[in-house]
Amino acid sequence: MSQHAPPHAGDVYAHSEQNHAKLAARYPDQFSGENIGLSWPDGWHRIVANVCAYAHEHQFPVQWHQIKEKFGCLRMYYRGGPLRMEIERFGQVSSVEVKGKRARVMAGFHDQVQAAESKSLKTCCRCGTSDAASAVSRRPFNGWWLTSCDACAVVIQAYCDLSPRQR
């Protein structure tokens, strides 16, 4: 897709760069330094922004290492946070955490991160709805797990069905 064409309605990352830039401008200390990726689906931006605001308000010294979608769930990794490993097998995801000394000091913040990640499993990654009537669930899209509502699932699938050149 050319840089000037509007994004496809099913592209759940259509505004990812702008969302990241907004938070980096508002919370520069959290987004300073090296990272390995800060890109989350548009529908989860409010969830990410709330965690950043909480860290700022409570003066937690957070520096984001990575924020992403993994197995249909938001994942937020920060320096000093617990070492985590997720394994997906037969549609089930297991997670293991090993907490270091700094992670224990930031336990209250880690609770906020875990709550945000759990909330993402009930929030559409495209439109951000968490309305029970919208039937938000984790679904496979061409081998990729995403959490979406019924209405957005159709649009996301249409995007996934496009060839890479058409996206």
- Per residue in 43-74, pLDDT (tens digit) is 999 999 999 999 999 998 899 999 999 999 99
| pLDDT, position 79 | 83
Q: Residue 95: its pLDDT value, please? A: 60
Mean pLDDT of the 65-89 span: 81
pLDDT of residue 160: 95
Question: Which tokens hold the place of 79?
Answer: 């320096």
Residue 88 confidence (pLDDT)? 67
Does the pLDDT of residue 96 top 60, yes or no?
no
**Residue 17 corresponds to which tokens in the numbers above?**
């760069």
* Lowest-confidence pick of 97-106, 119-128, 131-140: 97-106
pLDDT at 123: 98
CB 60 within 8 A of CB 106: yes
- How many whole angstroms separate alpha carbon 60 and alpha carbon 67? 17
Tokens of 19: 């969302």
127 near 151, Cβ under 8 Å? Answer: yes
Percent of the chain with pLDDT over 90: 63
| Residue spans per domain, the chain | 16-123
How much is the pTM? 0.86
State in Å, rounded, how far the first CA of the chain is from the last one: 5
